[in-house]
Amino acid sequence: MKQQSLKFTIIVGCFWILIMGIINLVFKPYGIDYDSGWAATSAFFIASALIFNYLTNSIRISKDHVKSYLLVIIVFLAMALSINYIFPISIIKKFEIINSKIIFPLFSWNVFVSKSADIIFQQLLINILIEHYLKFYNRRDSVKYFGIFFAVIHLPLFYVFGLKALYFILPSIAGGVLFAYLISYFYRGYLLSLGFHFTFYLGLGVFLRYLN
């Protein structure tokens, strides 16, 4: 990997870990989480990604991008909220999910709005890094390098969730390659990447709702 590309990869990785660290180690201990602190959490995620993009002058975000993102979010938010009716859970299971610290499987509107902001934060950084790679490497190498990055960047989740972090780390190995491939090879691949990211969390959420 070229030195300039490696340097930018480290910058993106450090920024990503910093923001997630603030969310999990600063916000959450004060009750600012995906549930009761959904507004602050969502605003922090979106603002952080946009500020980073502005400071690094990475990608141009057009009105078309914003409209497309909003459309995808609305569709998946509707799907998430409908899960409570299609796959209902007991009060006991609800408390189990809350105590597990992985609360997006509740699929309440406020939690999923926060999770949507989290996903958008990740997707913007994903786009920024892949677009950077494509300036230096061919598409195949860009996909390979980002796949490695995406798997490594999820390792700190062990500190937050313990072994439950494997729910995210194992899929991230394939997910990073998939996201990079879609963005690199397809027109408006960033929307396909966003859609698959949401689909993963919907599927994982349903699985965790019924995990004994």
Q: How confident is the model at residue 50 (pLDDT cuts 50, 70, 90)?
A: very high
Q: How far is CA 170 from CA 152, 175, 180, 206, in A?
A: 11, 9, 17, 17
pLDDT at 35: 86
Encoded amino acid at 67, one letter: K
Q: How confident is the model at residue 1 (pLDDT cuts 50, 70, 90)?
A: low
Both structure tokens of 69: 């993102």
pLDDT for residue 212 is more than 80: no
Average pLDDT, the chain: 89
- Tell which residue, 122, 107, 86, has the closest CA to residue 208: 107
Q: For 165-208, what is each residue's pLDDT tens digit?
A: 788 888 888 889 999 999 999 988 999 999 999 999 999 888 88
- Tell which residue, 8, 28, 9, has the closest CA to residue 20: 28
Q: How confident is the model at residue 120 (pLDDT cuts 50, 70, 90)?
A: very high
Q: Does residue 176 sit in helix, strand or coil?
A: helix
Query: Which is more confident, 156 or 8?
Result: 8
pLDDT for residue 164 is more than 80: no
Residue 188 phi, psi dihedral angles, 5° rounding: 55, 40
Asked if residues 129 and 148 have their Cβ atoms less than 8 Å apart, the reply is no
pLDDT at 186: 92
As a whole number of angstroms, the distance between CA 78 and CA 69 comes to: 14
pLDDT (mean) for 159-167: 78
**Residue whose token pair is 């960047």:** 153
Q: Please, what is the end-to-end C-alpha distance for the chain in angstroms?
A: 44
pLDDT at 143: 94
Q: How much of the chain, in percent, has pLDDT values that exceed 70?
A: 99
Q: For 34-48, what is each residue's pLDDT tens digit?
A: 888 999 999 999 999
pLDDT at 65: 84
As a whole number of angstroms, the distance between CA 159 and CA 122 comes to: 19
